[in-house]
Amino acid sequence: SDSYSLLILPGDGIGPEVMAEVRKVIDWFQSNRGMRFDVSEDLVGGAAYDVHGTPITDETMAKAQSVDAVLLGAVGGPAYDNLDFSVKPERALLRLRKEMDLFANLRPAQCFDALADFSSLKREVVSGLDILIVRELTSGVYFGEPRGIHSDGNNPENEGGRVGINTQRYTSGEIRRVARAAFELAKKRKNRLCSMEKANVMESGVLWREEVQWVHDNEYPEVELTHMYADNGAMQLVRRPSQFDVIVTDNLFGDILSDAAAMLTGSLGMLPSASLGVPAANGRPKAMYEPVHGSAPDIAGQGKANPIACILSFAMALRYSYNEGAAADELEAAVERVLAQGARTADLMGPEGGTPIGTAEMGDRIVAAL
Amino acid sequence: SDSYSLLILPGDGIGPEVMAEVRKVIDWFQSNRGMRFDVSEDLVGGAAYDVHGTPITDETMAKAQSVDAVLLGAVGGPAYDNLDFSVKPERALLRLRKEMDLFANLRPAQCFDALADFSSLKREVVSGLDILIVRELTSGVYFGEPRGIHSDGNNPENEGGRVGINTQRYTSGEIRRVARAAFELAKKRKNRLCSMEKANVMESGVLWREEVQWVHDNEYPEVELTHMYADNGAMQLVRRPSQFDVIVTDNLFGDILSDAAAMLTGSLGMLPSASLGVPAANGRPKAMYEPVHGSAPDIAGQGKANPIACILSFAMALRYSYNEGAAADELEAAVERVLAQGARTADLMGPEGGTPIGTAEMGDRIVAAL
Ligand SMILES: CC(C)[C@H](C(=O)O)[C@@H](O)C(=O)O
Ligand SMILES: CC(C)[C@H](C(=O)O)[C@@H](O)C(=O)O
């Protein structure tokens, strides 16, 4: 078989530490499952800014465009908080998303049974929870023009004299393509899709609702589609998250709702994500994978970060970029097994205490469980 | 003392039922506390549309502008779901907010101890919870221009051929005034304010953060101010809501976050809100009060809706519009007492069951407890 190309961007904070554990997993699949990975590595975020004065170089962008998959650790940290908007570590993420056209962000919110008690929600509300949020990632208010801060002339009614503007802009085509991705995923799951917007107050939400409905009626009539206002969606996620299977929503709502959903599960340090674009000539979509957790500067460099979210992000790469679904299942099962055996990094320790294991030991155990 | 003017807009669904109970409370304060209320009533939402073809008439608007306080029940329902955007029941709310310039929406998220087990969150996470979200209510993406849905010409890259646009636009003056309202409230509480935006991706969020900081540094240096990205805010609300005292955020984030926070408490049917504007010549701010719950069409007309949120909204009117803080305290204490005695409407019944009381009986009991 030909080799699988992978660009690793460890980034900042705990990114490099958790990525080291993914390397072990990659080695295992190379040694034991006859896969060949062509792995390269580069700087991103604050780490890139420190060296190059930019959070991502053109060379790294070109590399990201050419590989089958990018695996990113995390970006940002207090050292970079006061950087100018245009060179903040986050710009690297936004540039990767936009230039690679990664329009479908898949954010599973899954409660690992061994961790159900770790949620702030009651066990019976989150136990077995398994929902998938599909967030539009390359348009909406994150990218619309005009944008910026400008002077309001001498408007006497505007104390302070400035105006801040962003534009929420969606085309029907942008909505349809992410809707299709969500319908496809729903078909492989429980066949239910809930679309969220604020069609009661925003015309872009009206368009969103109409276009998702159009894709349903014309292409996926067999999938059960419902629509919900995003504020009610936030409520329902808290009240009874298990009512959902797949949720599709826009860039900004998706940011908020997927983070809330991740926290509901109690498994935040466990959650992966995939950002997928259009399939290339070889059939593989442009793709970037990253753990949902951030760079966690408070524990960086201490060897106690949880590598599972990053390892599960690699499992998503196996599934969506390399078409190695069986290997992805194998890796996910190994993680479940290690958790069931009671292995816990510090972030997964409940109030009952116990002895946490470190980043490297968690990685080793997962490899051993494979 | 001069009389207190009040415009009651019962609206749709359970609105009229819960409002009838507020009438009893008003009568009690008139008979027992020597207050004089000048109460008028009008149609709003679907009920107004049915009669007048518009969700709020100019006459009702004029009336709302002239009174000390408006008390609104709820608007909307399935009968109106397919109405054109411009005459939807929700437009009445938006028109009231905008024309009365009700820029500060106060949304307390409070967990009533008697109901703590009713939350989907663990008792220890929500017990005693008492936070206040201050949402900017008259600007941002709800109102910014340009907005609308238009044709994208013959853009071959836009399958579907339409574009939906909304504009997030904030002036520094708009941010400063809602920040001041939030700082004032924080001073009367635990002296802590957390401001939420997405300054990492939106310039309007950068302006928001800078202006809130400016108000702090120049006018409220003694209040503890923190800033948080709104997605992290959603996470933290789920994880440990008690870390917050007062939160200030924009119109759209406020919509989502305050609904999530309301649901966290388990006390959704209990939560009031106040929307305040600029003080008039008599010192009273333009003001509208409404329960957080909606029109609940599924139970409308059955006499089982919970009137407490609407009654507590009237308590907020006593406090903020009529400067009757002691009476507000008295009314809130009566509600707590009735709950502690075990009185429950159907929405407050836990899985352990019991016999719910109806809307009217709940109202009667609260009056009896005064
Ligand atoms: C870091 C930030 C730019 C980013 C976003 O808002 O999209 C993050 O919150 C995410 O969800 O990936
Ligand atoms: C009904 C709707 C227009 C409204 C809003 O989005 O503001 C509601 O959700 C609210 O929070 O009062």
| pTM of the model as a whole | 0.96
pLDDT of residue B236: 97
Mean pLDDT of B278-296: 91
Residues of B in contact with A125 (CB under 8 A): 120
CATH superfamily of B1-106+269-370: Isopropylmalate Dehydrogenase (3.40.718.10)
Backbone phi, psi, residue A29, to 5°: -65, -30
Marked catalytic residue, from A4, A255, A286, A289 = A255
Q: Do A122 and B125 touch (CB under 8 A)?
A: no
User: B1-106+269-370 with B130-149+165-264: one CATH topology?
Assistant: no
Give the mean pLDDT of chain B.
Answer: 96
Please list the ranges in chain A whose pLDDT falls under 70.
1, 351
Taking the CA of B250 as reference, the closest ligand is 2
| Contact residues for B24 (Cβ-Cβ < 8 A; gap 6+) | B363, B364, B367
Residue B217 tokens, joined = 């540094």
* Chain B, window 65-104: residues with a beta carbon less than 8 angstroms from a chain A beta carbon: 85, 88, 90, 94
Backbone phi, psi, residue A306, to 5°: -90, 120
pLDDT of residue B311: 98
Residues of B in contact with A238 (CB under 8 A): 120-121, 238, 260, 263-264
pLDDT of residue A1: 55
> In this prediction, what percent of chain A has a pLDDT beyond 90?
90
A142 is catalytic: yes
Helix and strand element counts for chain B (H, E)? 12, 12
Marked catalytic residue, from B12, B42, B68, B255 = B255
Atom of ligand 1 nearest to the CA of A93: 3
Q: Is A130 exposed, middle or buried (0-12, 13-18, 19+ CB in 10 A)?
A: middle
Give CA–CA dist A73/A69, Å, rounded: 13
Check whether domain B130-149+165-264 has CATH 3.40.50.2300, yes or no: yes
Residues A198-251 have pLDDT tens digits of: 999 999 999 999 999 999 999 999 999 999 999 999 999 999 999 999 999 999
Residue B1's pLDDT band (boundaries 50, 70, 90)? low
Q: Do B171 and A165 touch (CB under 8 A)?
A: no
pLDDT of residue B319: 96
Residues of B in contact with A234 (CB under 8 A): 234, 256-257, 259-260, 263
Mean pLDDT of B268-295: 92
Question: Which of A70, A255, A292 has the most ligand 1 atoms within 8 A of CB, as the residue to mutate?
Answer: A255
Which residues, listed in sequence order, are joined to residue B171 by a DSSP beta bridge?
A: A163
Q: Do B202 and A148 touch (CB under 8 A)?
A: no
pLDDT of residue A169: 98
Residues B79-122 have pLDDT tens digits of: 998 898 889 999 999 999 999 999 999 999 999 888 898 899 99
Atom of ligand 2 nearest to the CA of A201: 3
Chain mean position to CA B265: 15
Choosing among B178, B204, B298, which should be mutated to test the A contact, i.e. which has the most A CBs within 10 A?
A: B204
Residues B192-226 have pLDDT tens digits of: 999 999 999 999 999 999 999 999 999 999 999 99
Dist. CA A15 → ligand 1 center (Å) = 15
CATH superfamily of A1-102+302-370: Isopropylmalate Dehydrogenase (3.40.718.10)
Quick one: which of B369, B358, B350, B361 has its CA closest to B116?
Answer: B350
A50 is catalytic: no
B201 lines ligand 1 (CB under 6 A): yes
Domain boundaries, chain B: 1-106+269-370, 130-149+165-264
Residues A10-50 have pLDDT tens digits of: 999 999 999 999 999 999 999 999 999 999 999 999 999 99
Q: Do B167 and A165 touch (CB under 8 A)?
A: yes
CA B128, B132, B135 angle in degrees (round to 5)?
Answer: 155
Residue A159 tokens, joined = 């104390």
